[in-house]
């Protein structure tokens, strides 16, 4: 029982990263009805950009996070314009296949430039743990929790109070109605892909000091995808709750069951939630009249 608070705190840090990936998936899906399977590669791109800004350009870590967010958003806009915009009238399944292809292209492009040599962002924060009420947490994990909390709060304010945020919400509710109101749906698509890519980039630069940087970082898409489904796949609060659930349960499974069971537990959570509530924790059942 003494381990429980420690495992919860560590799980929340991991779950916060999964939540960022899940929110990116949810935003793009709500606006375009497309599941972006290249979101994992957005994380990889963000990690390598963070390494470039911190190590090569000698930027401080937290300004580098902001720079990565901007650079990842630009990459997302370019990819959407080149790879997805021409397919805007195609069936959703075609665009989903395109996201898989884009993910593979990005991964192999990174391999061409930086090979498979692992890299890391070192020395950005102290490695000495900090104690809060008997629970130890490293500055890296604390930075993850705080940064994700700030990003999520900024997102909520953005969607509630800005003109662009309201336009994105309107497009997510009904593309046809948004178009009739004078909103450029294609422009909203581009900005939504940019925002989703930016969230993936932030996750990448946050995770880099913890586990290093390599071309397989895109595997974080799996727990992020599970978190999005558990939350309902149309709900940002659901994505946050789903991410934290997956992170905490992974930690408990790794300690009390087996380290090899750690990744399996994501799918156990997924099956359990879908058996009880097929639409996810925060999702609404979809009914179609036949």
Question: Could you give the C-alpha distances from 262 to 22, 257, 274, in angstroms and in order?
Answer: 19, 8, 20
pLDDT band at 1 (very low <50, low <70, confident <90, very high): low
Q: What is the mean pLDDT of residues 206-219?
A: 88
- Distance, in Å, from the CA atom of 85 to the CA atom of 95, rounded to the nearest integer, reads 10
The residue with greater pLDDT, 16 or 31, is 16
Listed residue (6, 28, 213) closest to 102, CA to CA = 28
pLDDT digits (tens, 9 = 90+) for 154-199: 999 998 899 988 888 888 888 888 888 888 888 888 899 999 999 9
Per-residue pLDDT, 280: 83
pLDDT digits (tens, 9 = 90+) for 111-129: 998 888 888 887 677 777 8
Judged against a pLDDT cut of 70, whether residue 252 lies above it is answered with: yes
Confidence (pTM): 0.90
Q: What is the mean pLDDT of residues 18-32?
A: 90
Judged against a pLDDT cut of 50, whether residue 290 lies above it is answered with: no
The tokens describing 28, both together, are 């793009």
């Amino acid at each position: 029982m003494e381990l429980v608070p420690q495992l919860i705190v560590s799980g929340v840090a991991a779950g916060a990263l999964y939540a960022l990936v899940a929110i990116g998936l949810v935003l793009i899906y709500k606006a375009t009805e497309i599941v972006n399977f290249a979101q994992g590669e957005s994380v990889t791109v963000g990690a390598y950009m963070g390494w470039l800004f911190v190590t090569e350009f000698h930027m401080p870590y937290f300004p580098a996070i902001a720079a990565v967010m901007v650079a990842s958003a630009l990459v997302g806009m370019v990819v959407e314009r080149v790879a997805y915009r021409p397919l805007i009238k195609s069936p959703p399944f075609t665009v989903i296949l395109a996201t898989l292809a884009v993910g593979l292209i990005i991964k192999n492009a990174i391999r061409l430039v930086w090979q498979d040599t692992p890299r890391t962002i070192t020395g950005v924060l102290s490695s000495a743990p900090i104690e809060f009420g008997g629970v130890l947490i490293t500055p890296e994990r604390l930075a993850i929790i705080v940064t994700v909390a700030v990003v999520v709060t900024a997102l909520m304010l953005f969607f509630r109070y800005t003109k662009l945020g309201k336009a994105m919400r309107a497009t997510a509710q009904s593309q046809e109605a948004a178009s009739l109101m004078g909103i450029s749906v294609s422009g909203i698509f581009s900005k939504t892909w940019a925002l989703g890519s930016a969230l993936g980039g932030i996750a990448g630069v946050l995770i880099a000091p913890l586990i290093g940087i390599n071309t397989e970082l895109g595997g974080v898409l799996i727990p992020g995808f599970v978190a999005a489904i558990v939350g309902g796949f149309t709900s940002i609060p659901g994505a946050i709750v789903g991410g934290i659930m997956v992170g905490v349960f992974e930690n408990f499974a790794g300690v009390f069951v087996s380290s090899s069971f750690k990744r399996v537990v994501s799918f156990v959570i997924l099956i359990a939630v879908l058996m009880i509530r097929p639409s996810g924790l925060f999702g609404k059942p979809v009914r179609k009249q036949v």
